[in-house]
Structure 1
Amino acid sequence: MLRTLFSPRLLGMHLLAIGVLVAFTILGRWQLGVFQESGRPHAATDPAPVAITSLAAPGERVPPRAANHRVTAQGTFDTARQLLVADRAPDVEAGGGSGTGYWLLTPLRLADGTLVPVVRGWVPAPGDPAAAAPSGPVTVSGRWQPSEPSDFARPRAAPLPAGQLATVSTAELINVWPGARVRDGFVVTGAPVPGGVRAVAAPPPTVAGSFSWRNLAYAAQWWIFAGFAVFIWFHYVRDAVRAARGARSDDGAEAASPALGASPQA
């Protein structure tokens, strides 16, 4: 049997079956990867920057579709109301390191008197000299972000010190900045800030992906073909082994026939 299995003809069949099986398995895995990738969010068209005042009127909610869109605003930083958002990791993409630090949350006072919360950057410690906000009129460019949910922050054993927050929430900022008209959401500048403040990454907008079910069908098709190739290989080898056994049986029968039919000698 081993001689038959390792005959030149069957060796070629073995190699062909292995090659087909590997190729079809890889092709199926590739189509499965295309299917999985199609369902992931992908970058959307990044529209031109718009004035933050055009997103919504003061006191109104900004539509969620505006998340991560580029905005501009002109005004002066209200340095007396600056806050620190605790337990924020530096962004690797923006040149950050390890550990946790603080976001610099400084309100920008617009010409109409409303305040726009602006994340100007990241500092490692509350007393960092780079935390000082610039004075005078400024133009801020960044990406608008919706308010963070209250359960976004990790649980704490003790309350934060005065001047620090766990989340950037419009509802909370209205209470922290009494008497101020706070616009919905906040702006992340996303660009390096002079004075040593590290930038906070602001990703572009994304859209939800839609699964390409056709690629999933292609993956299943390639794997079915692989199974069919194994089926053909098995039957081909089985038939070859049966044929070899039959040939040996016939040879043995022919060799035994003369002895059985011989006449006795005198």
Structure 2
Amino acid sequence: MNRADQVRAEVSGVLFTPRWVGLTAAAIAAVVLCGLLGFWQFERAQQLRHAEAAALAAPVPVASLVAAGDDASGTALGRPVVARGRFATTGQVTVANRTDAAGRTGSWVVSPLLLDDGTAVAIVRGWVADPQDPAAAVPAGEVEVTGVLQGWESFYRGATGVGAPTAISRDLVADRVDVPLRGGLVLATATAPAPATAPAPVAITVATPTPGWPLQNAAYAVQWWIFALFAVLLWARWLRDDLRRARADAAGAATPAPARSVEQT
């Protein structure tokens, strides 16, 4: 019998004893149970993450994210928002040197929306080729604007000169309204009721926040898989120890006892 056959015979001789049949069945059950519990916690973590992503993607009132006088920052950036009110009849501004989806140069139309609580929020209503385009006219009446929140623009800060502004800063809009201005810009994606003519929507360049992994559930999943690995290692350790004892017993049985001398009487 070669060495491999000998090892197989030794392992089989141990594993097929009643004690080891029970230990092996218990180890398999523990591995399966821990593995399933780990996958359950992992799926739970994914469900929580998807639920949080869905919550972040649902529009919320802009007033719940940014207060008057504050700047939009952190997880507020990129959040879909909704704002209800009336566009200010004065204070609209066009921001030059903006391109549309086709690469044409034109202007963004930025209009303050007066909210029911006495504050205002800056709405980027869209793009026009010419500031005198009828589509840039301020809509009348109560509207509901849905869009995405982004921060104030900081490039060209401190620049002075004549002509149309080229960046949307807080001061640019705040100086045109006589009510407190909430932080950030809302890039409009829809207006209800929709005006007969409206600027072309601008491209959304700020991403909706991505939720992180629920660390507690993810840690529980890893913990259960570690328990499964521990059960395998413990089973292997006990098997190794029993094999060593079995070999030692076999070696002792194979060693002939020393002969006893017989005294002559």
Q: Compute the TM-score of the two structures, normalised by the length of structure 1.
A: 0.50
Q: Is the 8 A contact 2:30 2:231 kept in 1?
A: no
Q: Counterpart of 1:71?
A: 83
Contact map agreement 2:96 2:166 (CA 8 A) in 1: yes
Query: What SS does the corresponding residue of 2:144 show, helix, strand or coil?
Result: strand
3-state SS of 1:83 partner: strand
- Aligned in 2, Cα 1:44/1:22: closer, same or farther, shift over 3 Å? same
Q: Which amino acid aligns with 1:70?
A: V
Give how far 1:107 is off: 1.7
In 2, Cα distance between the equivalents of 1:241 and 1:138?
89
Instruction: Give SS of 2:200's match.
Output: coil
Q: Is the 8 A contact 1:191 1:199 kept in 2?
A: no
Determine the structure 1 residue equivalent to 2:263. none
Q: Distance in 2 between matches of 1:161 and 1:26?
A: 68
C-alpha separation in 1, matches of 2:126 and 2:83: 17
The answer as to whether partners of 1:103 and 1:122 remain within 8 angstroms in 2 is yes
AA aligned opposite 2:201: R
1:198-240 CA distance string (max 9 Å, x none): 365699x99x999674774564355235314412322123313
- Per the alignment, in what secondary structure is the counterpart of residue 137 of structure 1? coil
Confirm whether residue 189 of structure 1 aligns to residue 194 of structure 2.
Answer: no
- Tell me if structure 1 keeps the 8 A contact 2:86–2:114: yes
Quote the offset at 1:243 in angstroms.
0.7
Q: Structure 2 counterpart of 1:106, which letter?
A: V
Kindly tell me the number of residue pairs found equivalent between the two proteins. Answer: 229
User: What does residue range 116-135 of structure 1 map to in structure 2 within 5 Å?
Assistant: 117-121=122-126, 132-134=135-137
5 Å-filtered alignment, 1:34-45, equals 34=44, 43=55
Report Cα offsets for 1:125-173 as digits up to 9, x if no partner: x67998942465255322487772566x6x99x999953544x432243
2:229 counterpart residue number: 226
State whether residues 10 and 237 of structure 1, in contact with CA within 8 Å, keep that contact through their aligned partners in structure 2: no
Q: Give the secondary-structure state (helix, strand or coil) at the position aligned to 2:110.
A: strand
- Spell out the pairing of 1:79-94 with structure 2 (5 A cutoff): 81-84=93-96
The 8 Å contact of residues 24 and 226 in structure 1, kept in 2 or not, is answered as no
Q: Gaps (5+ residues) in structure 2?
A: 1-5, 261-265
Contact 1:4 1:241 in 2 (8 A): no
Secondary structure of the corresponding residue to residue 198 of structure 1 = coil
Alignment check: 8 A CA contact 2:109 2:127 kept: no
- What is aligned with 2:3? none
Deviation at 1:182, TM superposition (A): 6.3
Unmatched segments (≥5 aa) in structure 1 = 91-95, 262-266
Q: Is 1:240 aligned to 2:243, yes or no?
A: yes
Inter-CA distance 44–242: structure 2 relative to 1 (3 Å threshold): same
Partner residue, 1:105: 109
- 2:170 is aligned to 170
Q: Distance in 1 between matches of 2:134 and 2:107?
A: 9
SS of 2:201's equivalent in the other structure is coil
